[in-house]
Every structure is written in C-alpha cells, then in structure tokens.
Structure 1
C-alpha cells in the first residue's frame, strides 16, 4: 500500500497521505526492514507527521537486534513534537534516534517488562559523551517511562531536560521482585542534576515503586516546586518493625515546625491502591497528622480542643486515597470519629 502511495505521478498533486500529522506504526514478528537507509520503509513516512507512535517487535523475534539500525529520517525526527516508542531491544537505537528529536515535547518509552533491556551500550563513545554531558531534549515537557524494571531506568543517566514539567515512572506489576537499590539514587540524581528545572517541575507520578524508608522523603526535598504527586501501588520498606504510616510519613518533615517543610507548593496528592492489610496503612489519625503538619498552629489559643492555625492556608486542594480490594466491613463508624470530624472541619 505504501509503495503504491509513493508511485511517481506525471502531475504531482498533494495527496491526503502527505497531510497526515499523526501516525501509529506497529510491527510484529520478524524484523524485515532494509539495512540501507535509502530503502527503509521509514522513508515513506508522510513529511508532515508531528506525532509518531512506533511499536517494534519483541527482542526474541529480532535476531541480532543490538546491531539493527532504525532508519528514521532526521527530517521527520526533527519535526516531531510527540513521540512514543515501544521496544525491548538492546543497543544504541534509542539515543541515536532521540539525538535528533530537538522539538519533541512529549515522550513515552515502553520497555515491555523486559528484564535485561539496557537501551544503550555504555562502552560506546557516543553514549559515554551523553553520560558525561547529557543528551539534551530542549523542549521536552512530559516524560513517561512505562512497563519498566528499575534498572532499565538507567536511561535517565543520558537525558538532560531543562524545561521538563511532568515525569511518570511506571514499573511492571507482573513481577514479584522489582526492587532495585540503585533506582532511588538514579531518580534523585536525575532530578537534582539532569533535570535542570527543579524550580519549574510540577508533576510526578510513580507507579508500583519500592523504596527504603527515608528515600522518598529525600527525593521530595529535591522537588519543592511540585504541585501534583501521584503514588500508585507504593511500597516503603522499614529497617525496623514499625506501626507508623510509612507512606504518609515520607511526605512531611519530622520537625512539626520546620519552616522549609516538604512539598510546600503541593496542590494535589493521590495515594492509590494502598495495601489495607499491612500494618503501616494510613488511618484517619495518620491523615489528620499529615494535614496538620502542613500548617503552623498555635495551641496557646486553643479553647475548644481544636487546632488554631496561623499563617496562610494550605496549598493542598485535593487528597485522594484508594485501597486495594479486600473484604468489606459490614458496618463502621469511621466517618464519625473525632479525628475525621476535626480533619473535615479544618480542611473541608
């Protein structure tokens, strides 16, 4: 079909195909594209495409994938503002493609739950240069890494994103053991060193992640400008047995009157799919403590067993908490508890 569309006409007339701006390409089975760039099927991509979705075949169907180039025309890559790629190949294909995406604003990378996918050759001279100085995506605002294993996120070591506003990291939930001790450091270094826009960064979404106690808090300290935080299927490991609500305790300062605080500009917090069966699941008392920690209050003016807050109102406008499905109580009165009523009165 594409060959037919590309047939030369004695009287060239603009075709609907040439005006396409959004294109999705899905390849399955054996990879059969030409090794020569001039004969590559990618050369037939319409010239006006600005949004491209590329789904490549699985590594097991692609022999010697490490050495297979992706002949995406530089002119197409330079025009893209949105790019989504799904691939579990080893090799330097990704950085070789991204280096030409100078106008990209939205980037999604799907790792397909691959255990060993590294996405780049650390011994390659070009890659070494990106590790040292960064592969700059000057206009990137939204970055989403999907179906990843923590060690695959070393790709963050390559990227430099000076105006990034939103980062989503979605780990695989299909594997029992996805915890990797190097991931928190990789994320922290990306935020503090590679991001280059700590003051303008706004949104962070972490899906199915695991941290040691204290690591998430350290990461949040590096993001004072964040306004929207979503934690889906979170797990926090404690070095000692604790009944403390570890998830919420990672989101406020230990010192109740810490003037700097954590997440001072937070407007929306979503804690999704919490495990209600573990002993550190947040209760209404924990939520009340978290909310109180975000505002200064004066107990010397307390005449009715209520907190009297001083200073400006909290920036937090939305708090969403959901739990994984479990057996439902036949009856409860949690919404009548004093802690809930006090929280509702102070923050509703």
Structure 2
C-alpha cells in the first residue's frame, strides 16, 4: 500500500489552521491496482474540488465584507442627530398658525380614535390620519399642531416614532370644547399624561352658533363638572385660553374652579403666565359691562406675564362709561399685552401708563365715530386725562401693533404715549372697514404715523428698524394710497431697514410721483438704509384699483441703484454710492391671474435687478402662470410642473403655496 498515490490540496487552497488530508485507496480482494489513468482522473477530480472550495470561500468572504462595509462606513448625519434636535424639528414642522391643537371630542369616531394607548400599531396611526382627514373641514379653529404631519413622522422609522411618543412638549397642547362628558375627560387626562410634568396649554372654545346664555340662565358652559375636574387635577397648566365667553362666564368660571378646589384656586393659577379672554361673538351684548361690579372681572385676573383681552365691547350709546380697572400690580408684571376693544381713548392712557415692563404691545382700537358719544365730550374726558404737557413713556416696548378703525378715535391716547425703544411697528386699518370710510380717510396711515411722532427728528425713536403697513388676511380690502405712501416713505427717518406693505397700491401713480420729484429737484432717496422690501397680499384683481401692475415698482427698485451701462457691450456696472437693498419678497394669490405676473416672464427689469445682487422671493407663485400649452416656460425653459392639488412635484409645499427664489 506504500505506492498508493496521495491526493493533496494545492497550497493555494490551504488556509491557516487547516489539516492536509491524504486519502488512501484500499483495494478489495482480488482487485488489482488501479491503472495510472484512473489515478490521474482521481487527482483531477480532487484538484477541481479544491478549486471550487477556494472559490466558494472567497465568495463567502466577499459577502461578509459587503455586510461589514455599511457598519464600518459612517452613518448619515440624520442618524447621528440627537433626539433633542429631532424633537425641535418635529415641533417646528407640525406647528400650525398658532401653538395649540384642536380636537372636537363630541364626535364619537374622533373620540374613539384618540382613545388608544399608544402609537405602536400601524392600523391605529392610519385610523388617526383618516379621521383627521375626514374632520379637517368641521373643526371650528385652525389646528395649533398639525397632527397628521406628526403622525406621518411616526411611519419613518422606529427611532422617530419613539421621539414623537416620548416628547412631552408635543402632547402638552390641546384645544377642546368646555362641555365635556366622562368619556372626553378620560381622553383628555390620557392626553395630558403623555405631556408628563411639562408646561401645558389648554384652549377652551365651542362652535358657532352655540352661545352661552348664562346671563339669562344659571347654567354656564365653563362650569362643566368634568372640565372643572380636569382643571383641578392638573397642576402644570401654563397657558389658558378661554374663547367666546361672556364677562359672566369668566366670573362664574373663577367661582366654580374655587368651589371645586375646596374654596381656593388651583396651584397652577398663581403660576399661570399666559391668559387669553376672547369675548368675540357674545351677542347680544352682555349687560354685565354696564353693572357697577364689572370691575370684579379684572380684579380676578391672575398675575400673568402675557395677557390678551379680546373684543371688550362697550354698550353703544350707554351713558355709563365702563372702566378697565386692572390692578396696577398685574399691569407692571406684564411683558406682553394685547387689547381689542371699543372703549374710549382716555381709559387706554390710564391703563398703559402702568405697563412699564411691556415689550410686545398689540392694540386693536375699534373706536368708531358712532360707537361711543363720550369720545367727543371734552368735559367728560377732562377728569380722566392730565394736561397735554404730560407724557407717559413705555421704554421697554420694542414691538407695537396698532389696528385702528376711525382715525380721530386714536388721536387722544397717542397724544400722551411715547415708545423710545420701539424697533418693530405694524400699523393696520381694520379689514372689515367699509369702503366709503377708506375713501374718506385716504391719508389715514400718515396721520397715525405723525401722531406717533415718527416724522419728527427729535421725537422719533432712533431704534426703529422695521415698519409694516396694511392689514393681514386674504379678504382685506385696504389698498394703500400711492400719494400717502410716498409721503410716508419720504418723511420717515433714514434708519428704517425693513419695510412691508400689506395690500395693493397704484404703482404707476407712485412711479409718476417719484419721477416728478426727481425732475423738480425736490426728490430724495426713500428709506436710504432699506435692506428688505416686502410686497404682501397682492390679490392682483382688486375691485377698487383694478389689476395691480408690478412692473412700475420693479423699475423704481432698479432706479434706487446707481449704475452705468456700457456703450459698446451694454454691460451694466454698479457705481458708488451703492444701495443696501438686498432682498425683495412678492406675495401674490395664485387664484387671481392678471397682468401683474407678466414681469416675471422674461422681464428685463427683473433681470437687471437680479444682476445687482438683489434676491427676489415669490410667495404664492404658481408655475402654471408662466407655463404655456406646450409645457414650457415663456423663457423657453422646462417647467417643473405641479400636481393637481397644487403641490410641487417634489412635495415641499404641502399647503399649496410655493416659495421660489428668482
């Protein structure tokens, strides 16, 4: 048997730790030795087998390397982002117009949907999305946290779902009706339990046409036992918003909460930092305003830092003037104050003189010439107001929003008030103002700014940087008058850097005035320090002004810059002094198509402005405005196109508005 050949694996097929195997060939009885040819065949088979084994081993090692490579490679930044940063992103991405979330718990299907204990089940999350989609048009208020977007985030991955489920801030905000049943109470308690011990915000409101008639009956919406139990058991409410209530509702609310808590207010009442009382749509007007004990409404206010009193309506033609008797200790502790009322001007002066720490002040003065005859009675004002030489300074006010209705109605209060530290100013006329009133007061904005001393070099606040003119809202009918607008811009102090114009104006007339001033040598550069210009809420088709044409104003923007154009090559070169305008924002509602969009289709003026380095952003822009029937832009470039529901093809703008930089 010594001459039996040994089959050995090639050296290349041997791995460390392997053992060489030498197979032996045994011969049975009577069997002769194999022929050399048979031996060669066996050796060839062994060689092929060894090669196959080596190839298989190499393949396995390559596969192992492919599996190990993603682990060795650094993960994308989004995978390494801390949960705290993701929470901030999710909170920002799901915020609505305000900072709360409304859910109508009176609907049984919605109540059942939110009765689940968690977000783990995919079916449960899909049910939430379908329910929100079904009821999105029935909710009376705008979602303060867009819950569908928040639920969609949980579908991305387990890590994101865990962040959403464990982030207490996302679950600490809620809006509901004050009429709660036992089932609704349990759902709300479970909801707030997700928020743990983080500060919570609760907003109570109900749908129109429901109205609390506690002035005629003993039952009040805000004295609901289940609501009181929720408020008494919860100890971390930081913001409370009571909407569509009457003055009696608030006093009954305070009494009921104290009674449910054993005679005293809950612990969170004294630590509440935001309180909103909205008396909107409480018609007929509650006669509580005319009662002598009406001051108890304001004396019951907690020591908050942010206070909103909305739609305080005095009884028209009532001889008894109602006072805003808010305690001085509460006023001095405020940092933010919002008032919307139709009381007279003297009371505003006596109220604001104590608001020495207010930084954000918003006043909606609905004083009209017919609402309170006491406004025109100087004898009635005399006991309230000090001599005209007295001035009250509010040094910490940096942001002031002033909405007015009747121009003479706001002259009295601002005769005594000064804001030396003012940075941001927004002046607007009531958008519900009748057209005939607008036509009568065509210089209303300049009058208001003059009463604010913005045209005085010695009295104007040197810190003012931002000015916004015009009302907010799509249905605003408050066009700016070109003559009044030019007068304002030519008399403002030069430190203004940001200017926002809400509403349309006659751009041709504005350009004509500017050219006439320049030709006469009396022209001056308007707002020489201007860096940002916003033209917002251009409906393009206005029944007062007709079609809004943007091209003349683009020409004005171009003429702000000093430039030279080459005679041979036509190249435009900027020369000193350079203009500081770097950004222009134009917002147009896409449903109103008119010639105002024509400058955006190959406008030479626009191209020149862009060559100056000015960035022009378009809001509410639809590419269909510039897209021809062949699917190409008027400039010859391909259009990105839009989905049928108004969303971009890349899905960035979910609410139907597109923001594009030109």
Is 2:467 the partner of 1:204? yes
C-alpha contact (below 8 Å) 2:467/2:500 kept by paired residues:
yes
Q: TM-score scaled to structure 1, two decimals?
A: 0.78
C-alpha contact (below 8 Å) 1:35/1:69 kept by paired residues:
no
Please show how residues 66-81 of structure 1 align to structure 2 within 5 Å. 67-81=321-335
| Aligned-residue offset at 1:292 | 2.8
Runs (5+) with no aligned partner, structure 1: 237-243
Please show how residues 162-201 of structure 1 align to structure 2 within 5 Å. 162-174=420-432, 175-177=434-436, 178=438, 179-180=440-441, 183=444, 184-190=446-452, 191-193=454-456, 196-201=459-464
**Structure 2 CA distance for partners of 1:228 and 1:87, relative to 1, 3 Å:** same
2:463 counterpart SS class: coil
- Structure 1 or 2: more strand by fraction: 1
Is 2:372 the partner of 1:86? no
| Aligned-residue offset at 1:199 | 2.6
**Structure 2 CA distance for partners of 1:344 and 1:112, relative to 1, 3 Å:** same
Is 2:314 the partner of 1:59? yes
Is 2:492 the partner of 1:222? yes
C-alpha contact (below 8 Å) 2:400/2:425 kept by paired residues:
yes
Give distance in 2, aligned partners of 1:201 and 1:104.
Answer: 17
**Structure 2 CA distance for partners of 1:53 and 1:195, relative to 1, 3 Å:** farther
**Structure 2 CA distance for partners of 1:308 and 1:180, relative to 1, 3 Å:** same
2:344 counterpart SS class: coil
**Residue 292 (structure 2) aligns with:** 35
| Aligned-residue offset at 1:17 | 1.0
**Residue 186 (structure 2) aligns with:** none
| Aligned-residue offset at 1:21 | 0.8
| Aligned-residue offset at 1:297 | 2.2
C-alpha contact (below 8 Å) 2:420/2:462 kept by paired residues:
no
Please show how residues 219-298 of structure 1 align to structure 2 within 5 Å. 219-220=488-489, 221-235=491-505, 245-247=508-510, 254-255=517-518, 261-274=525-538, 276=540, 278=545, 281-284=548-551, 286-298=552-564
**Structure 2 CA distance for partners of 1:297 and 1:92, relative to 1, 3 Å:** same
Aligned residues: 333
Give distance in 1, aligned partners of 2:357 and 2:505.
Answer: 36
C-alpha contact (below 8 Å) 2:563/2:572 kept by paired residues:
yes
C-alpha contact (below 8 Å) 2:345/2:410 kept by paired residues:
no
Give distance in 2, aligned partners of 1:181 and 1:130.
Answer: 31
1:132-168 CA-partner distances (Å, limit 9, x unpaired): 4333222211111225233333243332111111221
Give distance in 1, aligned partners of 2:383 and 2:371.
Answer: 19
Give distance in 2, aligned partners of 1:332 and 1:267.
Answer: 25
Give distance in 2, aligned partners of 1:307 and 1:104.
Answer: 49
Is 2:609 the partner of 1:343? yes
| Aligned-residue offset at 1:53 | 0.5
| Aligned-residue offset at 1:81 | 1.1
**Structure 2 CA distance for partners of 1:337 and 1:110, relative to 1, 3 Å:** closer
1:59 counterpart SS class: coil
C-alpha contact (below 8 Å) 2:309/2:340 kept by paired residues:
yes
1:237-261 CA-partner distances (Å, limit 9, x unpaired): xxxxxxx623456779943999962
Is 2:302 the partner of 1:46? yes
Bigger radius of gyration: 2
**Residue 239 (structure 1) aligns with:** none
**Residue 310 (structure 1) aligns with:** 575
**Residue 21 (structure 1) aligns with:** 273
| Aligned-residue offset at 1:201 | 0.7
Runs (5+) with no aligned partner, structure 2: 1-252, 471-477, 615-662
C-alpha contact (below 8 Å) 2:420/2:460 kept by paired residues:
yes
Give distance in 1, aligned partners of 2:358 and 2:327.
Answer: 15
1:75-132 CA-partner distances (Å, limit 9, x unpaired): 1011111111111123632222112111111111223484545795654236653644
Give distance in 2, aligned partners of 1:314 and 1:253.
Answer: 21
2:330 counterpart SS class: helix
Give distance in 1, aligned partners of 2:513 and 2:535.
Answer: 12
Cα RMSD over matched residues?
3.9
Give distance in 2, aligned partners of 1:202 and 1:252.
Answer: 26
- Structure 1 or 2: more helix by fraction: 2
C-alpha contact (below 8 Å) 2:307/2:336 kept by paired residues:
yes
